[in-house]
Structure 1
């Protein structure tokens, strides 16, 4: 093929040709050339068409191979995986923090209720004989308000 296009000159780079002759892009180019020679059409040597069955798969380019060799592509995959895990962690920790705040609030309410129950019990058991009428009325009001808070039914 070279001799026919270059006025019967010998091909000087046979050692390179032996290395690359089985590559897909060269075999596709040769198939295209043979097809066009059968039709009698002239071709442009810069146009290369992949005639293989799966035309979506292409050989890896120089930059992509270099990036993979030096870990640049893997770093971006690792970065996205870490970012995704970090986002999940932040989401879960935010939910846990909210749940913890709810539990702390509930525990504080229970603690207040326990103290109120102790005070209620002390007021009930305290002697009333030496209290004035005003103090007895205040005691009854306090006991009644505590009873409403402590023993109220939530319907």
Structure 2
């Protein structure tokens, strides 16, 4: 029934803590002692390097995320400004068209009997220009 292991042999602990000298330090637990004895425990230096690299990666990721968020805010702000400028331009153009339409009506219904030939030609050119601008199919 005996599998050949002598259970009476104890392994000397690798790290002994004197509780009187270090009252705040806990003694090593059974699992940690077993892992160290079997050399499964990773070296603390390797662990700290991994943690440090992970912290740097998380910091870089957060910085990139903040940069993306800031860029999106700037893009939204610019888009809003462009939209506002387009609306203002459109409103200004509509006001200009209204004034041009009033002027066009005045020129169309004005008496021309007292105008010279040159003045009539200028009136006709102005009416043609306004007509093309006001009633073009591009709008």
TM-score class, shorter: 0.5 to 0.7
Q: What residue ranges of structure 1 are gaps of 5+ in the alignment?
A: 6-10, 33-47, 52-59, 69-73
Query: Cα–Cα, structure 1 residues 24 and 101, in superposed 2: closer, same or farther, change >3 Å?
Result: farther
RMSD: 4.0
Relative contact order: is structure 1 or structure 2 higher (C-alpha 8 Å, sep ≥ 6)? Answer: 2
Post-superposition offset of 1:81: 5.2
TM (norm. structure 2) is 0.59
Q: Which residue of 1 aligns with 2:119?
A: 135
Residues 103-138 of structure 1 show CA distances to partners (whole Å, capped at 9, x for unaligned) of 233233222222211211111222223222221221
TM (norm. structure 1) is 0.54
How many correspondences in the alignment? Answer: 118
Query: Cα–Cα, structure 1 residues 97 and 154, in superposed 2: closer, same or farther, change >3 Å?
Result: same
Answer whether contact 1:28 1:49 (CA < 8 A) is retained: yes
Q: What residue ranges of structure 2 are gaps of 5+ in the alignment?
A: 1-10
